[in-house]
Amino acid sequence: MNGKVALVTGGSRGIGAATALRLAREGADVALTYVQDKEAAEEVVRQVTALGRRGIALRADSADAVEAAEAVGRAVDALGRLDVLVNNVGVGVLGPLESLSLADVDRVLAVNVRGVFLASQAAAARMERGGRIVTIGTCMTQRVPGPGGTLYAAGKSALIGLTKALARELGERGITANIVHPGPVDTDMNPADGPYAAAQAAMTALGRYGTAAEVASMVAYLAGGEAAYVTGAEFAVDGGHAA
């Protein structure tokens, strides 16, 4: 990926941070967005630059329609072009159906659906032939193992349709669009030593949590040249959660 530029939304921690670093190791310059943890975002940038690549952290709230789209332009202004967009940012609001408020619905759909759509729209307008759009979904679009995930699963499921439609619309320009569905992954939001970890691990065929680096490796493949004939596809990195 030498000479390529990637934008990873929500790249300050977890899967986003692992993806930003993996793409940098593959040779890409990387912009990443964050909302609250500026220090963590700047630490990822420090690691990107230590790898000999350019990096920049951009504060952008994907719940804000203007900021979600403008982050793409800011990345291009800073790094000169855009070849890869990784739609990683997302929020999870879990709970019984009757407990979910209108504010919950609006926030999840704003971040997990509208923000991804607007970032993809803006990126498509800036990408040259051979661009890549990779979106992070969830194993819960393939199998919902229990109650409490209605809103989260609904929002992430919309990204499957978005991905397939982007693949059709952008294919003639050689731009691919794919979606990766992680299973239980050891992150700050869902630690492998958390109170619900044992039950989640037991739902996988491998009986364990995945790592952010394992998800990032799939993203890196889809972002690279070897995946030029892969588009409109779903990839489960879930330890067999959907098996």
Please tell me the predicted confidence (pLDDT) of residue 142. 87
Residue 51 pLDDT > 90, yes or no? yes
Residue type, 72: V
pLDDT band at 189 (very low <50, low <70, confident <90, very high): confident
- If you average pLDDT over residues 87-104, what whole number do you get? 92
- If you average pLDDT over residues 24-40, what whole number do you get? 96
Please tell me the predicted confidence (pLDDT) of residue 196. 84
Please tell me the predicted confidence (pLDDT) of residue 52. 97
Sign of CA dihedral 12, 165, 214, 208: positive
Catalytic positions are 152
> Are the CB atoms for 41 and 32 separated by under 8 Å?
yes
> Are the CB atoms for 84 and 223 separated by under 8 Å?
yes
Query: Average pLDDT, whole number, for the chain?
Result: 95
Please tell me the predicted confidence (pLDDT) of residue 190. 87
Residue 33 pLDDT > 90, yes or no? yes
% residues pLDDT > 70 (the chain): 100
Residue type, 148: G
Residue 44 pLDDT > 90, yes or no? yes
pLDDT in tens, 113-158: 999 999 999 999 999 999 999 999 999 898 888 888 899 999 999 9
* pTM for this predicted structure: 0.95
Strand partners, 33: 58
| Two structure tokens written together for 219 | 């993203």
pLDDT in tens, 218-232: 999 999 999 999 999
C-alpha distances in angstroms, 30 versus 49, 58, 80, 95, 175?
A: 9, 11, 11, 35, 19
What residue segments make up the domains of the chain, in order of their start?
Answer: 5-237
C-alpha distances in angstroms, 105 versus 34, 120, 206?
A: 21, 21, 33
Please tell me the predicted confidence (pLDDT) of residue 63. 93
CATH dotted code for 5-237: 3.40.50.720
Contacts 24+ apart (CB under 8 A), 147-154: 147/96, 147/97, 148/94, 148/95, 148/96, 149/94, 150/97, 150/100, 151/93, 151/94, 151/100, 151/104, 151/105, 151/108, 152/92, 152/93, 152/94, 152/108, 152/112
Please tell me the predicted confidence (pLDDT) of residue 181. 97
Residue 131 CA to its chain's centroid (Å) = 16
Please tell me the predicted confidence (pLDDT) of residue 116. 97
pLDDT band at 47 (very low <50, low <70, confident <90, very high): very high
Residue 94 pLDDT > 90, yes or no? no
